[in-house]
Amino acid sequence: MAKTILIIDDDPVVVKYLSNLFQDNGYETLAAASAREGMDVLKGTVPDLMTLDLEMPGGWGAQFYRQVTKEERLKDIPVIVISGVAGRHAIKKAVAYMAKPFDPDKLVAIVRKTIGD
């Protein structure tokens, strides 16, 4: 079964970009435009990986991550930070930090290394 990636970013253009990129590489995708939407998605499912923007309406990405990892079933989801703000240390447990604009091949390589095909 294909692995699922949850994309959290408030910019619909970025969401569309990442969705297509991941789908073209054989992953399924879910998307959320805010921290609140992200929590809603996570109520029903546990994705294999999350990409997270740090700066979003309704909450700072790092706060959202802390809230997510409080739940036992969610605490081990690998996270890749994709952001325009310098926040390399905002989420210490993040698998990778990609600064916008990012290199799509590099991103896919990291995803593949983290969760496999």
CA distance linking residue 15 with residue 90, whole number of Å: 21
Structural contact between residues 61 and 8, judged by C-beta atoms closer than 8 angstroms? yes
Looking at 7, 31, 56, 91, which residue binds another protein (CB under 8 A)?
56
102 binds another protein (CB under 8 A): yes
100 binds another protein (CB under 8 A): yes
Please return the burial class of 93, using the count of CB atoms within 10 Å of its CB with bins 0-12, 13-18 and 19+.
exposed
Between 71 and 103, CB nearer to another protein: 103
Near another protein by CB under 8 A: residue from 85, 108, 110, 115: 85
- Pairwise CA distance, residues 27 & 2, whole Å: 6
Give the footprint of another protein on this chain (CB under 8 A).
9-11, 13-14, 16-18, 20-21, 24, 55-57, 84-85, 99-102, 104
